[in-house]
Amino acid sequence: MKKATLGLTLIALSATTSSLCRSQSLPPVRQLGPITAVAKEPLGSVTTVRHLPDGRVLVNDIVGRRVVMFDSALSLVAVVADTTSATANAYGTQPGGLIAYKGDSTMFVDPASLSMLLIDPSGKVARVMAAPRANGVGFLVGGPFGNPGFDPSGRLVYRAPPNFAGFRPQPGGGNRLPQFPTPPDSAALVRFDLATRKTDTATFFKTPKFNVSITQSPDGGMRVTTSVNPLPQGDDWALLPDGTIALVRTKDFHVDWLNPDGTKTASPKIPFQWERLTDEAKVAFVDSAKIAIEKQRASGQFGRDGGQVFTRTVDAVGGAGRRDGAGGGDAPRTGSAPGGNTTVTTTAGPGGGALGGPLPPLTMVAPSELPDYKPAFTPGSTRADTDGNLWIRTSQNVDGRPVYDIINRKGELIDRVQLPLNRVLAGFGAGGVVYLAVRDGATAHLERARVR
């Protein structure tokens, strides 16, 4: 047998053996444990849940523009912040972020005022401080950009915004539009020290590719619009309770760990049943995704699985202008379809976005731009529980419902869990407690369940 033929045969046998090992090592998909409490208070959305040591729960409702506190039974509710005169500290005009802080205190980020409100254990605002950076405050809300958190040293860890100034368009001439350089395909995770107000870069990770198109605006300026990719390929991240940063890699589905002492370690590939996409399957996927997104947009929901839909208007000389319909600020307007990991339901009127204002026309990427294999996850799909395990919402569906892979600190796949219908993860509590966000017609509500 020739060496080339032998080599190809060995490669094929190796691939087959590897595939068999992966399929054999996959734990069976099981259902989540029993529901132990159901909140009757209707909410516009359930975005972030903060479990307090005594069992009470803070909930960030970015659609209803309020933060509420439930008792340990999820029966009584008190308003911590909203947009009415009922509270001295209004929620603000933009979606805010809820981040667990030291002990049983919580930080609420208000992008509209560029401030952070410290909520004490009783649900009162005890202190107000300035947010880290104005251009990155929108990334403290969470969602498809990852969930910010404080490490044991009190540093705020979050994804930094892209450097738009680094790829301003070059002026054109005559009828030629300015040239828009390719945006960066990576982002930084940064750590902000509240005491010194200094920021350092922890690491970088791969982000989904921007699909940019340029058109002339009626006022003679330039409008830059991104297209929707229903299968965005980008790494994900999560902050563990001990301060470890977990980076979930999209290329081969494994976890890199940035440990608190600064060292880095890598885990083996996570077994996964990869789904190949033929050319016909790519066309069908884009078509079905467009129909689903159009329905969501018509009902007031927008985005898909953490995808981004936004426009940025830039004047002819390359200066940053307003963001259409986003209510100002530099944070991209984002949303989540049913089954995503952020907003579960919205109540915005037809044709409008959850952040206010009309949405731009929907543009999809060409089917040829989709990957040959469906990514194992989409950005914004990873959460860390109180035991330091990663819960990754995978692209695999069973009976029309997504499967969550649970990865331990060693990077091992230890469990695969499926949630009840119309539910997504909203947060965790100590001792195997899971909080679920539930779509309920035009509203949403909160549930508490057990992992087993």
pLDDT level of residue 23 (50, 70, 90 thresholds): very low
Q: What is the pLDDT of residue 359?
A: 65
**What is the helix, strand, coil percentage profile of the chain, to 5?**
15, 35, 50
Check: CB of residue 36 under 8 Å from CB of residue 449. yes
pLDDT tens-digit map of 145-164: 899 999 999 999 999 987 65
Nearest to 108 by CA among 123, 98, 100: 98
pLDDT tens-digit map of 266-294: 999 999 999 999 999 999 999 999 998 88
Query: Which residues make Cβ contacts (< 8 Å) with residue 80, sequence separation at least 6?
Result: 58, 66, 67, 68, 69, 87, 108, 119, 123, 124, 125
Q: What is the pLDDT of residue 56?
A: 96
Q: Please say if the pLDDT value at position 327 is more than 60.
A: no
Q: What is the pLDDT of residue 17?
A: 37
Q: Please say if the pLDDT value at position 125 is more than 60.
A: yes
Q: Please say if the pLDDT value at position 16 is more than 60.
A: no
pLDDT level of residue 321 (50, 70, 90 thresholds): very low
Q: What is the pLDDT of residue 175?
A: 57
Taking phi over 0 as left and psi of -120 to 50 as alpha, with beta for the rest, 84 belongs to: beta
How many CB atoms sit inside 10 A of residue 29's CB? 16
Q: What is the pLDDT of residue 323?
A: 30
Q: What is the pLDDT of residue 93?
A: 85
Q: Which helix (H) or strand (E) holds 298?
A: helix 279-298
Q: Is 437 exposed, middle or buried (0-12, 13-18, 19+ CB in 10 A)?
A: buried
The amino acid at 414: I
* Spatial distance between the Cα atoms of 401 and 100, rounded to a whole number of angstroms: 29
Q: What is the pLDDT of residue 168?
A: 55
pLDDT tens-digit map of 209-237: 877 777 777 776 767 777 888 999 999 99
Nearest-Å Rg of the Cα atoms of the chain is 22
Pairing of strands 423-429, 35-38: unpaired
pLDDT level of residue 374 (50, 70, 90 thresholds): very high
Check: CB of residue 136 under 8 Å from CB of residue 189. no
Model-wide pTM > 0.95: no
pLDDT level of residue 85 (50, 70, 90 thresholds): low
Q: Please say if the pLDDT value at position 6 is more than 60.
A: no
- Mean pLDDT for 439-443 is 85
- Mean pLDDT for 7-25 is 43
Share of the chain above pLDDT 90, in %: 57
Q: What is the pLDDT of residue 14?
A: 41
pLDDT level of residue 300 (50, 70, 90 thresholds): low
Q: What is the pLDDT of residue 317?
A: 26
* Spatial distance between the Cα atoms of 206 and 254, rounded to a whole number of angstroms: 13
* Spatial distance between the Cα atoms of 232 and 250, rounded to a whole number of angstroms: 10
Q: What is the pLDDT of residue 174?
A: 54
Share of the chain above pLDDT 70, in %: 74
Q: Share the mean pLDDT of the chain.
A: 79
Q: What is the pLDDT of residue 179?
A: 60
Q: Please say if the pLDDT value at position 308 is more than 70.
A: no
Place of tokens 């619009």: 225
pLDDT level of residue 193 (50, 70, 90 thresholds): very high
Comparing 177-181, 184-188, 305-309, 416-420, the range with the smallest average pLDDT is 305-309
pLDDT tens-digit map of 36-79: 999 999 999 999 999 999 999 999 999 999 999 999 999 999 99
Domain-wise residue ranges, the chain: 26-450
Give the CATH fold of the 26-450 domain. Neuraminidase (2.120.10)
3-state secondary structure 121-140: CCCCEEEEEECCCHHHHHHH
Q: What is the pLDDT of residue 358?
A: 62
Pairing of strands 29-31, 413-418: parallel
pLDDT tens-digit map of 238-253: 999 999 999 999 999 9
- Mean pLDDT for 332-343 is 32
pLDDT level of residue 170 (50, 70, 90 thresholds): low
Q: Please say if the pLDDT value at position 348 is more than 50.
A: no
Q: Is 194 exposed, middle or buried (0-12, 13-18, 19+ CB in 10 A)?
A: middle
pLDDT tens-digit map of 91-122: 888 899 999 999 899 999 999 889 999 999 99
Q: Please say if the pLDDT value at position 258 is more than 80.
A: yes
Q: Is 46 exposed, middle or buried (0-12, 13-18, 19+ CB in 10 A)?
A: buried
